[in-house]
Amino acid sequence: MTQIRLITWNINSVRARLHLIDQLMNEYNPDILCLQETKVQDHMFPTDIFNEQGLTHHALAGQKSYHGVATLSRLPIVNSGPINWCNKGDARHVETEFENGIKLHNFYVPAGGDTPDIALDEKFAHKLDFLEEMTLWSEDLPKDGKNIIVGDLNIAPLENDVWSHKQLLKVVSHTPIECEAMKTLQETHDWFDVMRHFVPEPERLYSWWSYRARDWRASDKGRRLDHVWCSQSLKENMNSMKVLEDARGWEKPSDHAPVMVEIDI
């Protein structure tokens, strides 16, 4: 077997943060890099920067100014493509299949607006619809398949995935209806939560810190919005996981930190 290093990261505009890509590659040298919120159309994606770093295989799903996901890889990609979730044409997903049969799903789930009420906020309604479609899709995946989900799923489902469970129960990303929807999604394929395997409850586990905090590290009011899940058939292949918190403090950072996993294939 060969060990590969996979990093998933909501970059919050790839062209605005190419300096962070260079720093990440120099310090962590991933074999596969999954980005979310790239905010660029495919024909304008800065592929040359990734080619120079050895990530010469690309699967892109982008649009102007908003959303967007990209999977960049040293490993050859044999097949790739997006799904048009909720029939909105948003660039929120790309699937890549590798020569070993692993299918990697790079997701950017809608944030859900500010009001956790489907009657008052259409963005929240869209988020729940998106999760429902993901659940139906997940149900159809072969139970013995080799699937991995990574990305910004925009839900912190467990009590210690947020800095204050009680204070965030009515805040979008940690409301009971969202957490229950994510639990249902996980159960449909018996998804293995890689991050919580290596950092089990009740340990605190965050991947996002708001820009609003003057000193994000001191206040540490984080949430785990980014996730790595795998099919049960792959759980023994997962060797390690680390949230690269230092990247949240790099120059002009994303508000998300990268999540790194090492996998035997």
CATH of the domain at 19: 3.60.10.10
- Residue 15 above 90 pLDDT? yes
How would residue 1 be classed by pLDDT, with cut points 50, 70 and 90?
A: confident
Total domains, the chain:
1
Tell me the residue range of the domain where 96 lies.
3-264
What element of type H or E holds 146? none
Model-level pTM greater than 0.95? yes
**Average pLDDT score over residue span 41-67:** 97
CB 163 within 8 A of CB 220: yes
How far apart CA 128 and CA 147 sit, in angstroms, is 23
Q: What is the mean pLDDT of residues 104-122?
A: 98
Select from 50, 69, 71, 59 the least CA-distant residue to 7. 71
Residues in contact with 26: Cβ distance below 8 Å, sequence separation at least 6, in sequence order: none
pLDDT-based confidence at 207, cuts 50/70/90? very high
* Residue 126 confidence (pLDDT) above 90: yes
pLDDT category at 195 given cuts 50, 70, 90 is very high
pLDDT given for residue 13 in this prediction: 98
Whether 231 shows a pLDDT value over 90: the answer reads: yes
pLDDT of residue 244: 98
Rounded distance between C-alpha atoms, residue 145 and residue 11, angstroms? 29
What mean pLDDT is predicted for residues 139-153?
97
Confidence of residue 186 (pLDDT cuts 50, 70, 90): very high
Pairing of strands 69-73, 93-98: unpaired
| Helix/strand/coil for 132 | helix
Confidence of residue 50 (pLDDT cuts 50, 70, 90): very high
Of 165, 148, 149, 151, give the one whose Cα is nearest residue 223. Answer: 165
With beta carbons less than 8 A apart as the criterion, state whether 255 and 245 touch: no
Average pLDDT of the chain, as a whole number: 98
Task: Place 157 in a pLDDT band, splitting at 50, 70 and 90.
Answer: very high
Query: Is the predicted pLDDT of residue 191 greater than 90, yes or no?
Result: yes
